[in-house]
Amino acid sequence: MKAVNILLLCSTISRITPTVLSSDLRATIGTYPDYDGDLVVSGDVEITFDEYAMSFLFNGEGLEASCGPGCGVHIHTGTTCSDADLVGGHYWAPAGTEDPWMNDVTYYDSDYFGNAIGQFSIENGYLMEGNVGHAVVVHDSEGVRVGCGTLKSGNMKTKSKGAKKGIKSKKRNYNVLNAVIGTYPDYDGDLVVSGD
């Protein structure tokens, strides 16, 4: 039985088309602070910028099943996901203009298992630097906040320390690549496949 399952899993994985994500900002999504519902939300957000225009990609799991259209994912004013009172509302500028997050594109659709991918383009009035550190909030179909993560730079920079005084440190930049693995569409077997 194990050999059959492994063969099936390998067959499923071979059909996945990899996508390379080169991003400027990234957030790891976890359960929203003080959320007391049944969902155990996880996922990630990748955002690339071209001046004020951002391309927003959300991958999630543990979400409300068959949610959408109308399940939102937005950047909020707060800079934490540890205190629900500090997450705030939608983040955009200039104040007094129409909220760009309240439209028909800043949403995701989840499948029967609660897995989702949402992709859209938007301008919230800030360059990349103005969005760093802000909370990304995931909502269910009723608008309840179920997931949260804070935006960080998508490039990981490391410094190697010299063994002796006077040796220059080297800087290396690494692009972060991320993939969320889920069950192949229309798969009707007993395996539940997920992972990063």
Per-residue pLDDT, 97:
86
CA-nearest of 130, 128, 135 to 154 is 128
Q: What is the mean predicted confidence (pLDDT) over 23-41? A: 93
| C-alpha span between 132 and 88 (Å, rounded) | 15
Q: Give the amino acid at 72.
A: G
Residue with the bigger pLDDT between 180 and 139: it is 139
| Sign, CA torsion 158/119/127/96 | negative
C-alpha atoms less than 13 angstroms from C-alpha of 82 in its C-beta half-sphere = 3
| C-alpha span between 136 and 106 (Å, rounded) | 12
Kindly report which listed range (11-20, 29-38, 57-66) carries the lowest average pLDDT score.
11-20
CB 107 within 8 A of CB 69: yes
The tokens describing 71, both together, are 């399940």
Per-residue pLDDT, 68:
80
Per-residue pLDDT, 70:
77
| C-alpha span between 141 and 71 (Å, rounded) | 5
Give this prediction's pTM.
0.68
Q: Is 196 a residue whose pLDDT tops 60? A: no
Q: Is 99 a residue whose pLDDT tops 80? A: yes
Q: What is the mean pLDDT of the chain?
A: 77
Q: What is the mean predicted confidence (pLDDT) over 99-120? A: 91
Per-residue pLDDT, 176:
41
- How are beta strands 25-31 and 152-153 bridged, if at all? antiparallel
Q: What is the mean predicted confidence (pLDDT) over 170-177? A: 39
CB 176 within 8 A of CB 155: yes
CB 101 within 8 A of CB 38: no
